[in-house]
């Protein structure tokens, strides 16, 4: 029983982390049809910026409560800056090219940003543990869990709801759905698709960086963290169906729970199960669980 | 006449300089390829401290400022060292190419490098194929010289076997009534070798011990929440871990926040490399290793005092074990080359250096190193373990126990795992 409770809680905590990061990735793909490899770098940049800022915050002896707001502000600010710069400075010149070209372009951005991170922050790990430990822990089923992790779960759910609400209940969201459905017709109907792209890419980058910023207190921020997350985020998005917010949520939940069950019951297959699930889903639904089969345009 | 005086002075000066010029012409540089992580997760905790030590030692050797027993000749046998530093990141395929580049294009005299066990396993056969003098300074897998033998390859650092047997001995000395242990180690050669060695050591030293759970998170996982829950559910007395770098820091951070180490002992076999950085997070009572008598475990000596002082002055941080191991490899190469050269000022042949290196005993900042295993190609040295204690906010080690090299390493010709499972025959611990 204790093990079952642990699997459920661990799975949902892992879900929250994955979902926050995958949401931006899937949003960008859904609207712009760009598999954004640089998303991993946005995550890393958010983590580094947050770790540096939080370090300075506590070094100045400021109260812990403010550090949580600082985390969010750091992630969102650096995500907005880098997302806007990449879209306006680079991607805008590439639209209309093949999807594979866009993958290569974002991969190049990823490699450049990885080196920029090393130039700015060096290679030594950064720790920003204070916000993680300050909230203490809570015992559930006899096992201690960090309150911070549970708050991340609430944040992920709030972000999921916000994404659903924006897409389905706001004017901007509906326009976005139109662009997702057919960008040429949207353009013909007077929707400023170029501006929608800029806004979407910037929001996607902000979500990626926010993911890194809120993860930073619980991890050691080291070079290479962007590589690991992008692979997992792709797996999540592919399982759920690239471009689907609900798909990202279900994909993250499936990966989180399956991985948690594997670690508790058969630790040797931890990595295998994530990709096994992905392979099974792709075998039966190549477009992912929530992806829609698209008619081929001639 | 002024010009006559000037000419005479120039001739005299020239005559005085002739021997020096001749010596300078003789002293062709000794080219050294150094391979260590400069990027990726291993750069911060291992690669860069090793690179820093290499720079420090090479400069000090070239200027002749390394104290005894290396105070005699500058560089290596009078030859100034010239280094080419290569990033170890990128995987084994890239490293094989980089090694070939160093050996065949750059024409280095020797290569010192490799932190990753995977890279060491890939490079080992190449050393003999290209007949290039190569020294592994850090990687821990015992398989290098147990599964094969090499002529041009040496390893001046100890194996994972030594780390984990010593950890088991120390644990049982401190906590003889331990009933169950669990492990969390990375899912690659180093993590599996470390856990297998520790498990076999415990099974031999305390037969009734139970193994609660074995966790193998992937390298660079970052998130250990689920593994920590699994450890808490299994509730062992002791948690063994060979995690390193950011992985170790994240695990300690997350585990401490969840109280995972409140009632159980944590063993960090590579803990010394982050002990000072994590001074506020590592729980008191954690058993710390340094993969040898390195870093805070290094014995007091003129050489060690000089090394620590010079390193701290230059890099504003104390040297950790990767720095010590790099220094050890460089000084081992110097000792072997100068032994091979004898009284000759010229560069000895590779064959002569190899012959001198085999079975050599030399001094490093962390004490005596004996090239005793692998037909004289694999080093053994004593190892120390201690218990972490925070004093005035600073990391310290108490209850330090030192184990002689022959107590924690198998005899020559015996495979580590056979020795561990076969009852540690021939271990000399007194």
Q: How far is Cα B303 from Cα B299, in angstroms, rounded to an integer?
A: 10
> Looking at the partner chain, which of B245, B253, B258 has a beta carbon nearest the beta carbon of A129?
B253
Residue whose C-alpha is closest to residue A87's, from A177, A176, A205: A205
Does A102 fall in a domain? Answer: yes
Q: Which two tokens stand for residue A12?
A: 């949902």
Q: Which of A7, A125, A131 has the most B C-beta neighbours within 10 Å, making it the best mutation to test the interface with B?
A: A125
In B221-375 the beta strands, taken as DSSP E runs, fall at 238-241, 265-268, 287-289, 361-364, 367-373
| Segments making up each domain of chain B, as ranges | 3-158+299-380, 161-297+381-421
The token pair that represents A42 in the structure block: 């946005």
Phi (first) and psi of residue A143, to 5 degrees: -115, 135
Q: Hey, is the C-beta of A141 within 8 angstroms of any chain B C-beta?
A: no
Residue A148 to residue B45, Cβ atoms within 8 A: no
Query: What's the whole-number average pLDDT of chain A?
Result: 90
User: Rounded distance, CA A131 to CA A65, Å?
Assistant: 8
Within-domain flag for A10:
no
Please tell me the distance in Å from A53's CA to the nearest CA on chain B.
18
H runs (alpha helix) in B134-259:
143-146, 160-174, 189-205, 225-234, 245-257
Instruction: Output the CA–CA distances (angstroms, integers) from residue B398 to A86, A277, B109, B361, in the order listed.
Output: 52, 48, 43, 29
Question: The dihedral of CA A118, A122, A123, A125: what is its sign?
Answer: negative
Question: Given this model, what pLDDT does residue B8 score?
Answer: 52
CA angle B185, B373, B52 (to 5 degrees): 60
Q: A221 contacts in B (CB within 8 Å)?
A: 246
Q: Is B220 on the interface with A (CB under 8 A)?
A: yes
- Do domains B3-158+299-380 and B161-297+381-421 share one topology? The answer is yes
A-facing residues of B in 37-66 (CB < 8 A) are 38-41, 43-45, 47-48
Selected for mutation to probe chain A from B218, B229, B260, B316 (highest A CB count within 10 Å) is: B229
Residue A72: how many other CB atoms lie within 10 Å = 15
Relative to beta strand A137-140, strand A126-127 is unpaired
At B391 the three-state DSSP class reads strand
Task: Enumerate helices (H) and strands (E) in chain B, giving the number of each.
Answer: 14, 15
> Which chain B residues touch A219 with a CB distance below 8 Å?
222-223, 246, 250, 253-254
User: Is residue B36 classed exposed, middle or buried when 0-12, 13-18 and 19+ CB atoms within 10 A define those classes?
Assistant: buried
A3/chain B closest Cα distance in angstroms = 7
Q: What ipTM, to 2 d.p.?
A: 0.86
Inter-chain touch A267–B213, beta carbons under 8 Å: yes
> Is the residue at A263 inside a domain?
no
pLDDT over threshold 90, residue A97: no
Q: What is the DSSP letter of B91?
A: -
What residues have CB less than 8 Å from A283, skipping those under 6 apart?
none
What CATH class is the domain B3-158+299-380?
alpha beta
Please provide residue A286's backbone torsions phi and psi, each rounded to the nearest 5 degrees: -55, -25
Measured distance CA(A265)–CA(B15) in Å, rounded:
82
Q: How far is B235 from chain A (nearest CA, A)?
A: 10
Q: Nearest CA to CA, how far is B374 from chain A (Å)?
A: 32
Q: Which among A17, A131, A220, A259 is the top mutation candidate for probing chain B, defined by the most B β-carbons within 10 Å of its own β-carbon?
A: A220
Contact B196, B165 (CB under 8 A): no
* Interface contact flag, A220 B43, Cβ < 8 Å: no
- Please name the residues between 146 and 205 in chain A that touch chain B, using a CB distance below 8 Å: 146, 148-149
CB atoms within 10 A of CB B75: 19
* Per-residue pLDDT tens over the stretch A270-280: 888 988 998 99
Q: Rounded to two decimals, what is the model's pTM?
A: 0.85
Residue B308's nearest CA partner among B364, B270, B264, B363 is: B364
Q: Is B182 helix (H, G, I), strand (E, B) or coil?
A: strand
DSSP 8-state symbol, B109: S
Taking CB atoms and an 8 Å limit, are A146 and B254 in contact across chains? yes
Q: Is the distance from CB of A277 to CB of A258 less than 8 angstroms?
A: yes
Q: For residue A71, what are the domain limits?
A: 16-223
How far is it, in rounded angstroms, from Cα B174 to Cα B397? Answer: 14
Q: In 3-state terms, what secondary structure has residue B210?
A: strand
A143 CA: distance to closest CA in chain B (Å) = 7
Quick check: B257 and A148 CB within 8 A?
yes
Residue range A217-227: mean pLDDT, rounded:
88
Instruction: Kindly state which CATH superfamily the domain B161-297+381-421 is placed in.
Output: Response regulator (3.40.50.2300)
Residue B236 CA neighbour count, 13 Å, CB half: 23
Is the Cβ of A60 closer than 8 Å to some Cβ of chain B?
A: no
Identify all chain B residues contacting A268, using CB atoms and an 8 Å cutoff: 216
Q: Is residue A282 part of a domain?
A: no
Average pLDDT over residues A252-256: 93
Q: Which is it for strands B153-155 and B180-184: parallel, antiparallel or unpaired?
A: unpaired
The first and second tokens of residue A86, run together, are: 């990449």
CA dihedral defined by B252, B258, B261, B263, rounded to 10 degrees? 180
**Mean pLDDT score, A181-185:** 84
Partners of residue B386 on adjacent β-strands: B288
Strand ranges (E), A134-224? 137-140, 143-146, 220-221
Nearest C-alpha in A relative to B222? A219
pLDDT > 90 fraction of chain A, expressed in percent and rounded: 61
Asked if B257 has any chain A CB less than 8 Å from its own CB, the reply is yes
Q: What is the largest CA-CA distance in chain A?
A: 63
Q: At what angle do helices A2-32 and B225-234 cross, to 10 degrees?
A: 170
pLDDT higher for A292 or A146? A146
For residue A112, being part of any structural domain is answered with yes
If one counts the domains in chain A, the total is 1
User: Mutate which of B49, B87, B222, B268 to test chain A, going by most A C-beta atoms within 10 A?
Assistant: B222
Taking every pair of C-alpha atoms in chain B, what is the biggest distance, in angstroms?
97
Instruction: Indicate yes or no: CB of A260 within 8 angstroms of CB of B217.
Output: no
Stretches where chain B sits below pLDDT 50 are 1, 6, 10, 13-25
Distance from CA of A20 to the nearest CA of B (A): 14
CB contact under 8 A, A222 and B253: no
Is-contact B156 B365, C-beta < 8 A? no
Measure the CA–CA gap between A294 and A290, rounded to whole angstroms: 12
């Amino acid at each position: 029983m204790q093990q079952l409770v642990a699997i459920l809680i661990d799975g949902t905590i892992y879900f929250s982390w994955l979902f926050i990061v995958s949401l931006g990735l899937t949003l960008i793909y859904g609207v712009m049809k760009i598999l954004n490899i640089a998303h991993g770098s946005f995550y890393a940049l958010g983590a580094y910026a947050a770790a540096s800022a939080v370090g300075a915050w506590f070094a100045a002896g400021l109260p812990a409560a403010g550090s949580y707001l600082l985390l969010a502000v750091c992630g969102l600010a650096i995500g907005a800056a880098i997302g806007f710069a990449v879209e306006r400075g680079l991607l805008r010149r590439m639209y209309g090219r093949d999807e594979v070209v866009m993958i290569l372009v974002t991969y190049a951005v990823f490699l450049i940003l990885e080196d920029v991170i090393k130039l700015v922050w060096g290679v030594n790990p950064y720790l920003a543990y204070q916000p993680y430990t300050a909230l203490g822990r809570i015992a559930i089923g006899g096992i201690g869990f960090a309150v911070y992790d549970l708050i991340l779960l609430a944040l992920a759910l709030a972000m999921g709801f916000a994404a659903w609400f924006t897409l389905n209940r706001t004017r901007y969201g509906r326009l976005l759905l139109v662009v997702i459905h057919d960008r040429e017709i949207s353009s013909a109907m007077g929707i400023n698709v170029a501006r929608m792209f800029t806004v979407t890419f910037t929001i996607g980058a902000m979500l990626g960086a926010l993911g890194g910023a809120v993860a930073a207190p619980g991890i050691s921020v080291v070079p290479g963290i962007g590589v690991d997350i992008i692979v997992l985020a792709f797996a999540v998005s592919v399982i759920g169906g690239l471009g689907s917010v609900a798909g990202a949520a279900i994909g993250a939940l499936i990966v989180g729970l399956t991985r948690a069950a594997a670690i508790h019951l058969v630790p040797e297959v931890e990595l295998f199960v994530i990709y096994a699930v992905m392979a099974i889903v792709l075998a039966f639904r190549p477009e992912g669980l929530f992806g829609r089969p698209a008619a081929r345009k001639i | 006449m002024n010009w006559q005086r000037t000419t005479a002075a120039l001739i005299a000066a020239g005559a005085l300089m002739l021997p020096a010029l001749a010596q300078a012409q003789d002293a062709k540089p000794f080219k050294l390829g150094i391979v260590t992580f400069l990027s990726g997760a291993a750069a911060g905790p291992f690669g860069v401290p090793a690179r820093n030590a290499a720079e420090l030692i090479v400069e000090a050797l070239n200027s002749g400022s390394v104290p005894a027993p290396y105070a005699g000749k500058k560089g290596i046998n009078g030859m100034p060292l010239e280094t080419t530093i290569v990033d170890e990141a990128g995987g084994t395929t890239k490293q094989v190419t980089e090694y070939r580049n160093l050996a065949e294009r750059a024409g280095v005299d020797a290569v010192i490098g490799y932190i990753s066990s995977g890279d060491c396993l890939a490079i080992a056969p190449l050393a003999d194929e290209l007949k290039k003098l190569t020294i592994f300074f850090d990687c821990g897998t015992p398989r290098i010289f147990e599964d094969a033998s090499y002529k041009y390859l040496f390893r001046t650092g100890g194996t994972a076997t030594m780390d984990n047997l010593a950890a088991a001995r120390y644990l049982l000395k401190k906590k003889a009534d331990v009933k169950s242990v669990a492990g969390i180690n990375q899912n690659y050669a180093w993590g599996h070798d470390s856990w297998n060695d520790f498990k076999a050591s415990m099974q031999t030293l305390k037969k009734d011990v139970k193994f609660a759970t074995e966790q193998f998170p992937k390298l660079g996982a970052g998130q250990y929440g689920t593994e920590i829950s699994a450890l808490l559910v299994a509730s062992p007395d002791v948690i063994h871990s060979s995690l390193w770098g950011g992985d170790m820091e994240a695990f300690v951070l997350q585990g401490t926040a969840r109280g995972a180490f409140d009632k159980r002992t944590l063993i960090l076999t590579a803990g010394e490399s982050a002990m000072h950085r994590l001074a506020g997070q590592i729980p008191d009572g954690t058993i710390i290793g340094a993969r040898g008598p390195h870093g805070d475990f290094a014995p007091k000596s003129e050489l060690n005092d000089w090394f620590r002082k010079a390193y701290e002055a230059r890099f504003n941080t104390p040297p950790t074990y990767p720095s010590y191991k790099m220094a050890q490899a460089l000084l081992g190469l110097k000792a072997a080359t100068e032994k091979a050269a004898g009284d000759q000022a010229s560069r000895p042949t590779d064959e002569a250096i190899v012959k001198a290196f085999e079975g050599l005993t030399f001094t490093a900042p962390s004490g005596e190193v004996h090239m005793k295993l692998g037909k004289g190609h694999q080093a053994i040295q004593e190892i120390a373990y201690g218990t972490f204690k925070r004093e005035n906010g600073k990391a310290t080690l108490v209850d330090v126990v030192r184990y002689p090299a022959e107590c924690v390493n198998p005899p020559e010709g015996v495979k580590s795992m056979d020795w561990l499972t076969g009852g540690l025959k021939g271990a000399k611990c007194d």
